[in-house]
């Protein structure tokens, strides 16, 4: 029988194609490279892959600027390679999710080429065009995430166009129903090819306020980090008018109606708004909107037991019947071992990597894990001369951009470029990454990689970890502790994660553990009567 609910509690492995595996040695990872490594991906025990954009693109934002939504970029291969990817992933029981960038296209897209020709052509209204202020300035104060105003002057059309990201990423005008239909038709092209789901890039940015009202200023004490450079003025505004507009819901419902015609296909919306938790709830309410939304809340610089607990509790309270999807890393943020890990000690970094993966995979929800997390990779050092990310180039050195988490996967420690490519890689392989390569870790039963595999195998057998409810408890200020339980079967387990680098002895008080169920790969705790001893960065699971 087909499990249409496969996505609930699924582990989704994010592949960043440029840096995964280069099959033809031009220095850039490609789809045949992914296909060569499907057995490796299957060995991780993940349920699905999310492939970052591999569609035709001038690569100004490395694929998040698409010029043809139905073609694979030649640098990555061709449609046949992608069809093989779908077929061979499916043969291994792995679902395939594609990245859909709907809010904007590349400025090289045929739609934009036509739209910019005049103010009265067929596609004149497909993007967000506006006249300058009488003084010639942009129509309002909206800002681009990547720096500067969100408006770019077009000298031919003699109007400004909106771009929330790079000026080579013009924003589509979703108020035009033809745009919505064209976008949905592109999606259906891929659904017909058998893809199992969509990661919806920047989905909150589809609509804008048609009155083009100015965004209000944000007081200093509310300027949240989320990876923004401190000198990026984007952090100085509330983005009420160019982001998360109410019309989004109507479009999301159209999108869901399309997905419903392809049973088992799933949507995962990337939600970044002023009140992301409320937006996530709104976007997943009932069963006519998105299946799940992607949370940025664990991609922050700071973390602590209190922070994780209050974030998860607040989201859980807001969500109701909505389904969350967690991530501790992706292609946009510093790698988690460096971002959260306090330690430079190799053993502690390893323990930390294992514990964080187990922790995030034990929360209620689905999880996106980023390539390289299974190796415990640290953030790569990328010299200014080697920078590729336009966002990093713009704000260097207060913000170094996103290249440090995008460097190539280390496959084999003795090979040139750690086995990623014989050619010069588009980003250098970090000098410390070869010692974390897949071949070395495969030989070591205690490696982060083998622990990850064993943990996933163990987790996949636990229905309560995949779909149970969650309830936090106070145990110790350095220990994140919660129950997962099934209200019907009354199965209840306790999950504990020591976020500190100190071994701890904790009195469990009233909590009566029936038996320890920690998987052997993460056995770093012992319990005697009601005294729990848990190692530094240790994990503990018990049946209650
Ligand atoms: O990111 C959307 C987004 O909100 C990011 O700008 C995020 O806030 C920022 O990167 C934090 O550092 C998506 C993609 O994940 C990103 O790679 C793209 O550059 C962006 O959309 C534009 O398509
Ligand atoms: Ca290649």
Q: What is the ipTM of this complex?
A: 0.95
The distance in angstroms from the start CA to the end CA of the chain is 33
Residue 206 has pLDDT above 60, yes or no: yes
pLDDT at 287: 95
Average pLDDT, integer, range 10-37: 98
Residue 484 has pLDDT above 70, yes or no: yes
Catalytic residues, which ones? 201, 270
Backbone φ, ψ for residue 275 (5° rounding) = -130, 75
The candidate with the shortest Cα–Cα distance to 142, out of 165, 123, 159, is 165
pLDDT at 80: 98
Question: 506 Cβ partners below 8 Å, 6+ apart?
Answer: 475, 476, 479, 531, 532, 533, 534
Residue 471 has pLDDT above 80, yes or no: yes
Residue 249 has pLDDT above 90, yes or no: yes
Question: Which residue is listed with tokens 């504990």?
Answer: 496
Query: Mind spelling out the 3-state secondary structure of 283-326?
Result: HHCCCCCCCEEECCCCCCCCCCHHHHHHHHHHHHHHHCCCEEEE
Backbone φ, ψ for residue 495 (5° rounding) = -125, 125
226 pLDDT tier (thresholds 50, 70, 90) = low
Alpha-carbon gap, residue 456 to 45, rounded angstroms: 6
Using CA atoms in the order 116, 120, 122, 128, what is the torsion angle rounded to 10 degrees?
A: 50
pLDDT at 125: 98
C-alpha distances out from residue 54 to 61, 63, 392, Å: 12, 6, 22
SS3 at position 5:
coil
User: Which residues have beta carbons under 5 A from ligand 2 (an ion)?
Assistant: 22, 24, 26, 28, 30
Cis peptide before 397 (omega within 30 of 0): yes
CB atoms near residue 347 (< 10 Å): 10
Question: Residues 524, 532: contact at Cβ < 8 Å?
Answer: no
Ligand 1 touching residue 365 (CB < 6 A): no
Pairing of β 469-476 and β 479-485: antiparallel
**Is 159 exposed, middle or buried (CB count within 10 Å of its CB: 0-12, 13-18, 19+)?**
buried
Residue of the CA atom closest to atom 11 of ligand 1: 227
DSSP assignment of 479-520 equals EEEEEEE-TTT--EEEEEEE-SSS-EEEE-TT---SEE---G
pLDDT in tens, 321-359: 899 999 999 999 999 999 999 888 999 999 999 999 999
CA-derived radius of gyration, the chain: 23
Gap from CA of 63 to ligand 2 centroid (Å): 15
Q: What does pTM read for this prediction?
A: 0.98
Alpha-carbon gap, residue 404 to 332, rounded angstroms: 9
Domains and CATH numbers, the chain: 106-173 (3.90.400.10), 468-543 (2.60.40.1180)
Residue 225 has pLDDT above 60, yes or no: no
Alpha-carbon gap, residue 392 to 429, rounded angstroms: 18
C-alpha distances out from residue 522 to 46, 48, 516, Å: 18, 23, 12
What percent of the chain stands above pLDDT 90?
A: 93
| Ligand closest to CA 422 | 2
SS3 at position 352:
helix
The candidate with the shortest Cα–Cα distance to 157, out of 126, 134, 122, 130, is 130
Ligand 1 touching residue 272 (CB < 6 A): yes
The candidate with the shortest Cα–Cα distance to 255, out of 195, 324, 183, 179, is 183
Residue of the CA atom closest to atom 17 of ligand 1: 332
Gap from CA of 379 to ligand 2 centroid (Å): 23
Ligand 1 touching residue 404 (CB < 6 A): no
Residue 229 has pLDDT above 80, yes or no: no
pLDDT at 343: 85
Residue 539 has pLDDT above 70, yes or no: yes
Question: Residues 418, 380: contact at Cβ < 8 Å?
Answer: no
Residue 425 has pLDDT above 70, yes or no: yes
pLDDT at 224: 65
Burial 49-86 (b: 16+ CB within 10 A, else e): bbbbbbbbbebbbbbbbbbbbeebbebbbeeebbebbb
**Is 454 exposed, middle or buried (CB count within 10 Å of its CB: 0-12, 13-18, 19+)?**
middle
Gap from CA of 22 to ligand 2 centroid (Å): 4
Arithmetic mean of pLDDT over the chain = 96
Residue 228 has pLDDT above 70, yes or no: no
Q: Report which DSSP code applies to 400.
A: -
């Amino acid at each position: 029988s087909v499990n249409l609910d496969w996505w609930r509690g699924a582990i989704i492995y994010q592949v960043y194609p440029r840096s995964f595996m280069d099959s033809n040695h031009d220095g850039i990872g490609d789809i045949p490279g992914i296909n060569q490594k499907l057995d490796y991906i299957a060995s991780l025990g993940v349920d699905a892959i999310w492939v970052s954009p591999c569609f035709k693109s001038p690569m100004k934002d490395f694929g998040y600027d698409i010029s043809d939504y139905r073609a694979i970029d030649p640098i990555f291969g061709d449609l046949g390679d992608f069809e093989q990817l779908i077929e061979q992933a499916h043969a291994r029981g792995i679902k395939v999710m594609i990245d859909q960038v709907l809010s904007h296209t590349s400025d090289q897209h045929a739609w934009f080429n036509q739209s910019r020709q005049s103010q009265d052509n067929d596609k004149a209204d497909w993007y967000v065009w506006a006249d300058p202020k009488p003084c010639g300035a942009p129509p309002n104060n909206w800002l681009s995430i990547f720096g500067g105003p969100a408006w770019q002057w077009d000298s031919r059309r003699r109007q400004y166009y909106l771009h929330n990201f790079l000026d080579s990423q013009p924003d589509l005008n979703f108020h035009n129903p033809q745009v919505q239909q064209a976008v949905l038709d592109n999606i259906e092209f891929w659904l017909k090819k058998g893809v199992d789901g969509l990661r919806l890039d920047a989905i909150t940015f589809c609509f804008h306020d048609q009155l083009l009202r100015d965004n209000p200023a944000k007081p200093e004490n509310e300027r949240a980090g989320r990876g923004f450079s401190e000198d990026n003025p984007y952090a100085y505004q509330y983005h009420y008018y160019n982001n998360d507009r109410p019309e989004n819901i109507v479009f999301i419902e159209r999108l869901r109606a399309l997905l419903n015609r392809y049973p088992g296909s799933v949507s995962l919306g990337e939600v970044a708004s002023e009140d992301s938790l409320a937006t996530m709830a709104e976007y997943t309410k009932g069963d006519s909107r998105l299946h799940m939304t992607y949370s940025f809340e664990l991609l922050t610089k700071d973390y602590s037991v209190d922070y994780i607990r209050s974030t998860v509790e607040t989201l859980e309270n807001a969500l109701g019947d909505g389904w969350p999807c967690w991530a501790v890393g992706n292609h946009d943020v510093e790698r988690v071992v460096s971002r959260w890990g306090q330690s430079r000690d190799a053993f502690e970094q390893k323990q930390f990597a294992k514990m964080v993966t187990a922790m995030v995979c034990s929360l209620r929800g689905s999880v996106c894990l980023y390539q390289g997390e299974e190796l415990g990779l640290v953030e790569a050092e990328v010299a200014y001369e080697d920078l590729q990310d336009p966002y990093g180039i713009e704000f260097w050195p207060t913000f170094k951009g996103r290249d440090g988490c995008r460097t190539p996967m280390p496959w084999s420690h003795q090979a040139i470029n750690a086995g990623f490519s014989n050619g010069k890689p588009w980003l250098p392989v970090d000098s410390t990454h070869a010692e974390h390569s897949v071949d070395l870790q495969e030989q070591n039963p205690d490696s982060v990689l083998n622990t990850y595999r064993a943990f996933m195998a163990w987790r996949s057998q636990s229905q309560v970890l995949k779909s149970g409810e969650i309830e936090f408890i106070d145990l110790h200020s350095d220990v994140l502790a919660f129950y997962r339980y099934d209200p019907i079967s009354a199965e209840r387990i306790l999950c504990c994660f020591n976020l500190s680098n100190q071994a701890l002895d904790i009195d469990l008080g009233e909590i009566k553990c029936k038996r320890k169920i920690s998987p052997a790969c993460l056995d770093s705790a012992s319990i005697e009567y009601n005294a729990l001893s848990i190692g530094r960065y240790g994990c503990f699971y018990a049946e209650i």
